[in-house]
Chains A and B, each alone.
Chain A
Amino acid sequence: MAAASATLRSRTPVLPTVVDETSRPAQPHAVIGETDPTLPLAEEINARMARLDISFNAHGFDAYGVSRSSLAAGMRVVGWLYRHYFTVRSRGLEHIPPRGRVILVGNHSGGYAIDAGMVIASCFLELDPPRLAHSMADRFVNRIPFLSELASRTGQITGLPQHALQLLRDDRVLLVFPEGTRGTQKLFWNRYSLGQFGTGFLRLALRTQSPIVPFAYLGGGEAVPTIANLSFLGKLLGVPYIPITPYLLPLPLPVGAELRFGSPLRFSGTGEESQPVIQAQVDVVKAAIADLIAHGLADRAARPPPPVAPRD
């Protein structure tokens, strides 16, 4: 809708949001995510923890219950997956502001939220200074033993509007997958499609005047090639569904993945606009993500596939 682009702020540098990687001047860290062989991951994580912009109390807890030690332990796991298992390559990290509130909005895929973990790892391991992305966890997470504890100690709190609002007002990084579980339920052949987007994140962005950084995660659908989702089994276990792969278990394959962040989008408004106005702005974000996916896939097609990846 034309109204959407009209309401975009004039100071937004690049709009529409097609991110053309080739036209952008070469940046020294345009592709980062390579392992620094001189520093073991655990040491690097400890060094980065010390520079994290979060006010922990004397014993390492913050106001949301994030624990410094749990976060470091969690980062060692997702960091290893990021660097060595999925060998994630992150592009466009310069679009994430080094400080201040921001909403990262991207596509979901791959059975369950591995992509969230990789975005969190990317923000922590690649940004300078490191930042903690708070994903807005699905409501069922808090009901599952251990997952509840792990999520709340690492800042992955329930995706409630109140939480999002508080985190943004505290100038934190919010990670949102507007497709929700609809996104992770995508089957293998739909892995790069975009489902219906929720609109709450955009109202929050307007209310808090937060920039939205769109991103695309490529490789999630290949890592967990879902062929069916069992909601009956999921209900028994207290989760929305259980993804089933050709090898039955939803264990992720060591498939190379890529994370592409696009230019920040800033919208003007109060967050009280009518639903059609908000929907049009959401569509702009969705289109930006679709563009990032398309460019990622085009780049990938131009490259020889990584040795362990199954061919499309």
Chain B
Amino acid sequence: MKILITGISGKLAQQVAVELCARGHELTGIDRRPWPDAPAGVQLLQTDIRKPEAEELFRSVRPDAVIHMATVSHLTTRRDERYRINLGGTQKVFEYCEAHRVAQALFVGRHTYYGAVPDAALYRTEDEPPMALESFPELADLVAADLFAASALWRFPSRITTVLRLVYTLGPSLHGTLASFLAGPRVPMILGFDPLFQFMHESDAVAAIILALERKLRGVYNVAGPQALPLSELIRVTDRTPTRMARVLHPFLLGRFGLPRLPTGAVAHIKYPIVISDRAFREATAFQHAHGEYQTLAAFRAASPPPSSAGTPHAPETGHDEPIPIASPSPRG
């Protein structure tokens, strides 16, 4: 099968591409960033999706399936740029898919779509609407991209449209929203709040994306891995130090003293849980995650041992693969 991946130089997309190559698929990728050590056989076009060259690639390659992973998060990109990439890019990709008769378009979204609010249920299903956009405008472009991608289900009924909403991914690549949040020596928490965090091993996320592609899944699906854990437990197991501070102090302390920077709206994400139900996805694909919650945290911990200095943000060394066993947890109660 000829597969085109947008945003192929992203860490998760790279893993998807490598795995699909190994399965004998023909891979093409588009990304503004380079991928120097891409496997032979992956055709990479280094450009912006919205440029004519990108459409030309659709025209010449005529892919059977497109995996759209060219989205950026608030942590890395400015607001106007995010709108252009996330919403504008998604719009273009789906236009190209329709114009060039791509049989399946798969959008990889995020579970933060649902929003962190105090009175939302745990285990939110695909039917639930996005919330808290007014308090976290940084998320609006991703939510819009997700909804726009899902609209292809009725706009282009002859194509297979798949929208996956993945929980945070964690693993040796040290890439992703949660990995960045946990990167430093100190991890901020809000005093008196300890929400559940739902995450999965990045190789399980790769497996889920490939499964959705190969099963030609149609519809919107939540994708999750093992059981959710409280944030304090993530911090404890990864050997970080929780910094519990009152909500009012966050604007003054975040981004300093080895704490990560967070936009104001993102504070809700360390106050209230976003826990999704992946029952529909598991029923449709028989997906089973291979890594448990502690195994996933151990993989992250091994690749990113706790930084010793508290003053500077942690810059993980690449290729550091020396396994560091997790300190066995102290008996609790």
Contacts and interface: CB of A to CB of B under 8 A. Distances in A.
Interface of A: 46, 49, 57-65, 67-70, 72-73, 139, 142-149, 152-153, 157-158, 160, 162-163, 166
B253 interface: no
Contact of A149 (B194, B233, B246): B194
Interface residues of B, number: 28
A72 B333 CA distance: 7
Nearest to A145: B192
Contacts of B120: 160
A72 B195 CA distance: 19
B89 interface: no
Interface of B: 118-124, 190-196, 227-230, 233, 246-247, 272-273, 293-294, 329, 332-333
B152 to A, nearest CB: 28
B194 A162 contact: no
20 contacts: A46-B333, A49-B333, A62-B227, A63-B227, A63-B228, A68-B333, A139-B119, A143-B118, A145-B191, A145-B192, A145-B246, A148-B118, A148-B192, A149-B192, A152-B195, A153-B230, A160-B121, A162-B124, A166-B121, A166-B122
A61 B119 contact: no
Nearest to A150: B192
A162 B114 CA distance: 15
Nearest to A73: B333
Given A65-B230, A69-B333, A152 B119 contact: no
Given A57-B293, A152-B196, A153-B194, A65 B118 contact: no
Contact of B123 (A59, A68, A142, A166): A166
Most buried by A among B118, B120, B124, B246: B118
B329 A59 contact: yes
Contacts of A153: 194, 230
Nearest to A49: B333
A163 B122 contact: yes
Contacts of B230: 61, 65, 67, 152-153
Contact of A162 (B123, B195, B233): B123
A61 B233 contact: yes
Contacts of B229: 61
B231 to A, nearest CB: 10
Contacts of B196: 65, 152
B189 to A, nearest CB: 10
B216 to A, nearest CB: 30
A179 B194 CA distance: 29
Contact of B294 (A49, A58, A147): A58
Nearest to B331: A69
B233 A59 contact: yes
B190 A145 contact: yes
